[in-house]
A and B are shown apart, each in its own frame.
Chain A
C-alpha cells in the first residue's frame, strides 16, 4: 500500500532539495553589495511611500466581509446549475427559496446603510 506513495516521496525530496540548493548557491557565489535602492521593496518600480501597516477606514472591512458573504453564497449556484436538469422542479424551488433569503439579506444590508460610503 505504501509503495503507491513512492512518487510523492520523490516529489517531496525534490521539493526540499531544489529550494535549498537555490538558497545556498547565491550565498556562496554572489557578491554582496547593498545600497538604499537595492534594499527597497520594489527595486525597479515606483519608489515606496510610507509603511504598509497603515490605519485605514473600517468600512473596507465591512465591505470585504459583505463581499465574502454574498460571493460564497453565489458559488452555491454553480453546482446547482451543473445538475439543474437532473434536479428538476424540486431543485428550482429550493434554489428560489435560497435566493429569496439571500435577497432579504441584501435588502437588510442596503436598508441598514452598510454600503453607504459616508
Chain B
C-alpha cells in the first residue's frame, strides 16, 4: 500500500447529501417532461432539509478530515446553515418566477445545489487550495445561473461579465496562494499561524503581497469597492431570484473564508492588515451608498445597497476580534433575511418579462395592495437600519463593537453612511404611500410558494429584531471555538 491521505467522508456528509440530491435532480429532469416538472423542486427541497438535519447532528463537533484540509467546527456549521437557508429561500422565490418567465428546468436547481456544495467546502476549508477549490465549485454554477434567461441580452451580458471578472479574480487568488506557499512552505491555516507567530518580528513582504492578493480574489466575490464593477450589471441582468441568491449566499461564503483566514490564520500579523481592511470598508460603504442614491431601477438600487451592506460587515472584519466576528455574523444573518425578503417583493410586484422595474412603478401600491406595501416597507426599514427590525440590531452591534475596539472614525463614517442609505430606502416607501397610482400595480397575484419565502423572510427580519438575544447566543456559541486555540 502506498500512503494515502487520510480520507474520512463522514466529516463532509452534509455536502455529500446535497451533491447526491443535485445529481438526482438532474436525472429527474431527464425523465420528467413538460409541465409536470414542478415536483423537481421538491427533490431539491428535500435534499436541503436533509442536509440541514445532518448539520444539526454535527453541531458541536470539532473534527478535521482529509489530512487537515477540511475542518468541521461550529463556525463552519453556522455558515452552512446560512447557505442552506439562502438556498431554501431562493428555492421558494424561484418556482413561481421560473414558471412565469417560462424558464423552469431541472438544471436551475442543479446549479443552485452544486453552488451550495462549493460554499460549504469553502466555509469548512482549513487550507488555501481547498478554499480555492470550494470557490471554483461555487462560482462556475453562478456564472451559468447569471445567464439562465438565455433569450435575454442582459442576462447573457451578465453571465459573460461575471465569468470574465470571476476568472480574473481567481487568477489573483491563486497567485496570492503561490506567494504564501513560496514564503512559508505551507497552505494549511494551523501551520500558517505557527509559522507567523514564530518569526513575527521581520514580516516577509512576500507574505503581505500574498495575503493582499488573496483578499482581492475573495473581494471580487463579496463585491468590495474597488472590485465591485461587475455587481450592478450582473445583478440587473440575472433573473431576479438568482440575483437574490447572489446577494445572499456567495457573499456569506466569501466572508466565511475571510473571517477564518484573516482573523485566525493571519492573526499574528493582523495589525498590518487592519489598515487595508479599514480603507476597503470606508470605500465599500461610501461608494455603495452614494451611487445607490441615484438609481431608478429597483434591482440596481438593491445591487448598490448590497455593496454597502458588505461594507458594514467589513467594518466588523477590520475589528479583528472575536466580538467583531460575532457582530459580523449577526449582521450577515439579518442581511440574509431582509435582502431575500426585498427581492421576494420585487418578484411579487414584477410582471412577465420584467421590462419595467423602476421604483416609480410602485406608485400608489398602498391603496390597492396595503399588505404588500407594508411588507415591502418592513424590508426597506430593516435595510435602512430602523428599529425594531433586524437591520437596526445588526448595525448597532457592529458600530458599538467598532467603538469599543477603538475604531471611532470607522464607526462615525459607518453611521453617516447609514443615514445616507435611509434616503433611498425611504424613497421606495414614499413612492408606495404618497405617489399617484401607476398602471403596473393594478394586478398582483399571490402565489403560495413565493408567499412562503416572503413570510419566512419577514419572520426572520422581525424575530431577529425583536428577540436578538437567542440569536446572539447562537452566534457566540459558533464563534467561541474559532478563537480558543489562539
Instruction: Please list the residues of chain A having a beta carbon within 8 angstroms of any beta carbon in chain B.
Output: 83, 86-88, 90, 101, 104, 107-108, 111-112
A-B interface, 7 closest residue pairs, ranked by CB to CB distance from nearest: A111-B30, A86-B2, A104-B23, A108-B26, A86-B1, A108-B30, A104-B27
Bound Cα distance from A112 to B4, whole angstroms: 38
Closest to A91 in B: B4
B23 near A101 with CB under 8 A, answer yes
Q: Give the distance to chain B from A81, nearest Cβ to Cβ, in Å.
A: 15
Contact among A88, A104, A107 with B1 in the assembled complex (CB-CB below 8 Å): A88
Question: Chain B contacts of A83 at CB under 8 A?
Answer: 2
How far is the CB of A65 from the nearest CB of chain B, in Å?
Answer: 14
In the bound complex, CA of A101 to CA of B26 (Å): 11
- Sample of 6 more A-B contacts, CB < 8 Å, known A90-B4, A104-B26, A107-B30: A83-B2, A86-B2, A87-B4, A104-B23, A107-B27, A108-B26
Interface of B is mostly: helix
Number of A-B residue pairs, CB cutoff 8 Å, is 18
Q: Is the interface of A mostly helix, strand, loop or mixed?
A: helix
* Closest beta carbon of chain A to B28's beta carbon, Å: 11
Residues of A close to B23: CB separation below 8 A:
101, 104
Shortest distance between the CB of B40 and any CB in chain A (Å): 14
Contacts of A108 in B (CB 8 A): 26-27, 30
Q: Which A-chain residue is minimally distant from B19 (CB atoms)?
A: A101
A87–B5 alpha-carbon span in the complex (Å): 12
How far apart are B234's CB and chain A's nearest CB, in angstroms? 24
List the A residue with the shortest CB-CB distance to B106.
Answer: A108
Give bound CA distance, A107 to B1, whole Å: 35
A36 to B1, CA, bound (A): 67
Which A residue's beta carbon lies closest to that of B30? A111
Chain A hits for B26, CB < 8 A: 104, 108
Decide yes or no: A87 and B2 within 8 Å by CB, A101-B23, A104-B23 being known contacts. Answer: yes
- A104 vs B26: C-alpha distance in the bound complex, in angstroms? 9
Task: Give the chain A neighbours of B27 by CB distance below 8 A.
Answer: 104, 107-108
Say how far B10's CB is from chain A's closest CB, in angstroms: 15
User: In whole angstroms, how far apart are the Cα atoms of A25 and B60 in the complex?
Assistant: 77
> B27-62: which have CB < 8 Å to A?
27, 30
CA distance A101 to B30 in the complex (A): 15
- Complex: chain A residue closest to B7, CB-CB: A90
Q: How near does chain A come to B225, taking the closest CB pair, in angstroms?
A: 36
Instruction: State the CA gap A88–B1 with chains docked (Å).
Output: 8
Q: Please name all residues of chain B whose beta carbon is closer than 8 Å to the beta carbon of A111 when the two chains form the complex.
A: 30
